[in-house]
Amino acid sequence: MERLHARYPFFAAAREAVDAAAVDLGELVTRPDEPAVDRAVDRVVSALTDHTIGEPHGDDRIELLSYPVARVVVSLVDDPVVTRTYAKAEAATAHERVLADLDGGDDLKFTTNDTDLTVERLLAEFDLEDEVVPTEDGYEVAVTRYLQLAADLDDPDWRLPRRSLAAGDVPVTRDELLELLRAAIEERVAAGLPFAVPDAIAAELDHAVAAVEDVLSDPAIPTEFADVDPAAFPPCMDALLERARAGEELPDHSWFVLLSFCATVGMHAEEVVAIVDPGDETVAERIRYGVERVATSEGEIAYPPVSCATMQTYGDCVNKDETCETIAHPLSYYETRLAADD
């Protein structure tokens, strides 16, 4: 198992190295204090808390084996936010390593060497060698593949109307090519997740799953309020409301968080429809259904909103103010603001 395999465990050669070593995953996870399992948990927890995969283990074999174990743990947690966040963290770390390994990030050379990382090797790894062509001042990427890789990149400058297009190719700079490769890595890591895990292996990883779920668990939170006061909403909820009012199609998890919060502070479905004011009956029906889903027929909240830590994982923790620095849950923020306004 080479160092390159440990640094890029999603490479086909890395998977082949694990297969060639005839490692029995079922047997590996039964070993007491197995370092590969500990490192796997660290990969996933660090992804959720720091958007990295933590510090690499000093042993390349352990570092490489921790990757398939981490994928098992992610599959057992079976949460789309965890899956997406983990894939993004693996890709972000890999992107940093690519910059460091490609001649110190100073020059992208099309060379061949079985032990070195090169652009040629990266492109071949992701079946891009026929779709990326070097030019005098950068590269050209086939438009179909460009659209696939740039689809989830946030900067509007990635949108095709803002790009040059010639003979079916999109010119990109050196840095842009590396960013597109980061997207390809994320796509590779996320592929196939989550997958079914045999019961015997799942039982041995209960503690690993618990460690990840602890990160997502919510602290004790207030759930009963005397008043409904939108002026006391935390910045994260204000932002979600503004996005919904503007007609933005919020991700499912963002809708869930917003509707759960509104229901928990005492708003009924029609009140939430009124405050969002979607101007679209389809969206209004989605709001009504969502509020009914999070609240039981007795008015109790079956699914309270998530903690600030989980909001950060979702990417919905925005516009933090001084009150945010002292609380750990959006409902605690609301309670604090209500008390301050009395």
Would you report the helix, strand and coil content of the chain in percent, each value rounded to 5?
Answer: 60, 5, 35
Residue type at position 147 = L
- Burial of 270-296, coded b for 16+ CB within 10 Å and e otherwise, reads eebbebbebeeeebbebbbebbeebbe
Q: Are 270 and 339 in contact (CB under 8 A)?
A: no
Q: Provide the β-strand partners of residue 138.
A: 135
**End-to-end distance of the chain based on CA atoms, in angstroms?**
64
SS3 16: helix
**3-state helix/strand/coil string of 238-297:** HHHHHHHHCCCCCCHHHHHHHHHHHHHCCCCHHHHHHHHCCCCHHHHHHHHHHHHHHECC
Is 324 marked as binding a ligand? yes
**Hey, what are 311's tokens?**
């909001």
**Residue 317 among known ligand-binding residues:** yes
Task: Identify the CA nearest to 262 among candidates 297, 298, 303.
Answer: 303
What is the spatial distance between Cα 6 and Cα 17, in angstroms, rounded to a whole number?
10
Q: Quote the CA–CA distance of 117 and 265 in Å, as a whole number.
A: 54
User: Do residues 223 and 331 make contact, with C-beta atoms less than 8 angstroms apart?
Assistant: yes
Name the binding residues: 236, 308, 317, 324
Name the binding residues for [4Fe-4S] cluster: 236, 308, 317, 324
